[in-house]
Amino acid sequence: MNAEIIAVGSELLTPQRIDTNSLFITEELNALGVEVVMKTVVGDDRDRLAALIRATLERVDAVVLTGGLGPTEDDVTRDAVALALGRGQVFSQEVCDRIAARFARLKRQMAENNKRQAMVIEGAAILPNPNGTAPGQWVEAGGRVVMLLPGPPGEMKPLFTQQCVPRLKKLLPPLVIRSRVYRVAGMGESDLDLAIAPVYTKYSNPVTTVLADMGDIQVHLRARCATEEEAGRLLDEAGSEIESVLGDRIYTADGQPLEAVLGRMLQERGARLGVAESCTGGLVAERITSIAGSSAWFLGGFLAYSDEMKSALLGVDPELIRRHGAVSEPVARAMAEGCRERTGAAYGLSVTGFAGPDGGTEAAPVGTVYIGLAGPDGTLALRIFFGGERNRVRRLAAQTALDLMRRKM
């Protein structure tokens, strides 16, 4: 089975808005073994939409429409599908009562035009929507399926999962999908691809997808099989090869972000962390504290953005800064040590660098970052250089600091 997704709404054709519902729907459809071959965004124009639906039904087995089910004249999806299929619509007292009950529960007046939402395409199954007024509809016609879903993700997602997926499963051969997500730090995307391509090109099942974000790469393996055992076996087979190629560059096989992995490691050894950030200006701590419960292993720390703060807050000797510069190995070490001492944490992690666009010296041009790590076994420092603009340097510096901690603590 293959499918197309149509997002309806003129606001989705502005420079400010984008259809993201289709990502969720694609993921759910792929998990059923259904391929998405085209996605379209169209405005609130009944005739244009009807023509599009007609064309779509000539190409694919299933069409998923999101949006345009509201109560106003602008909401044309239901009418367009009825027009495209040459079917009428009938008023459903049951749907109308359900909408009225929802308004009563919210102590709001039901408007006259909400009754439009109780119109059902002839032969369609109603998909009740517990999170909004517009119900979905499931229409089968000539061996094809058309699904009408509300646009708000909070309504669309549960409706698709709970109502459409079970109906689709009945039409599809049984299939088990299992996936594994490795996350990798400290490698560029092309280097990683070069390293693992010999592995993943050998396997058509599982399918491998590489997704790179700044300094953080996800390697998704997805196996589709008749049984769970088979899927697990295939994942283990390809996965173990990828693990042996990437080694400790892989920081997790369960998809967790780096800061969560770090937290687990610290909790296991009953140790806590303090940070001292200069050029990253709070990015490292912000990532750490985005994890609920991080107070169990994160104490806090210092934003030593200026030279004077490095001395005042962390006790870095001003002479050291004068002699080596604030972006230098001795200062990174002194920051990490001062942080460890003053917070009383087992580990002190520091970052100092030139993020640009201004600043930098001959010895440490813009893009140069030093990371310091002070712990029970002593202190170490890493010098690293990142190309690109300010934001990129800052994000890569934060990622590298967290990863250094993971590998060296």
State the residues that interact with its own copies by CB under 8 A: 12-16, 18, 20, 23-24, 26-27, 30, 36-43, 45, 48, 52, 55, 59, 209, 211, 220, 275, 277, 279-286, 288-290, 292-295, 298-306, 308-309, 312-313, 342-344, 356-358, 390-391, 394
Written as six digits, the tokens of 2 are 């293959």
CB of 337 to its own copies, least distance (A): 16
Nearest to 195 by CA among 240, 245, 236, 241: 245
- Cα–Cα distance measured from residue 149 to residue 24, given in angstroms and rounded to the nearest whole number: 13
Output 88 or 154, the one with its CB closest to its own copies.
154
φ, ψ at 41 (rounded to 5°): -115, 130
CB of 395 to its own copies, least distance (A): 10
CB of 163 to its own copies, least distance (A): 20
Start-to-end CA distance of the chain, whole Å, equals 50
Note whether 249 and 181 are within 8 A (CB): no
Q: For residue 297, with 0-12 CB atoms within 10 Å meaning exposed, 13-18 middle and 19 or more buried, which class applies?
A: buried
Q: Is 220 left (phi over 0), alpha (psi -120 to 50) or beta?
A: beta
Output 136 or 356, the one with its CB closest to its own copies.
356
Output 114 or 343, the one with its CB closest to its own copies.
343
Written as six digits, the tokens of 100 are 């009225």
CA 153 to chain centre: 15
CB of 152 to its own copies, least distance (A): 14
Output 102 or 342, the one with its CB closest to its own copies.
342
- Which H or E element spans position 81? helix 77-85
Note whether 131 and 102 are within 8 A (CB): no
Output 211 or 226, the one with its CB closest to its own copies.
211
φ, ψ at 65 (rounded to 5°): -110, 135
CB of 219 to its own copies, least distance (A): 12
CB of 252 to its own copies, least distance (A): 18
CB of 327 to its own copies, least distance (A): 13
CB of 243 to its own copies, least distance (A): 22
Nearest to 134 by CA among 67, 69, 79, 46: 69
Output 306 or 361, the one with its CB closest to its own copies.
306
Q: How many residues does the chain have?
A: 409
Nearest to 69 by CA among 119, 123, 35, 14: 119
- Cα–Cα distance measured from residue 129 to residue 150, given in angstroms and rounded to the nearest whole number: 9
Output 64 or 124, the one with its CB closest to its own copies.
64
Output 92 or 131, the one with its CB closest to its own copies.
131
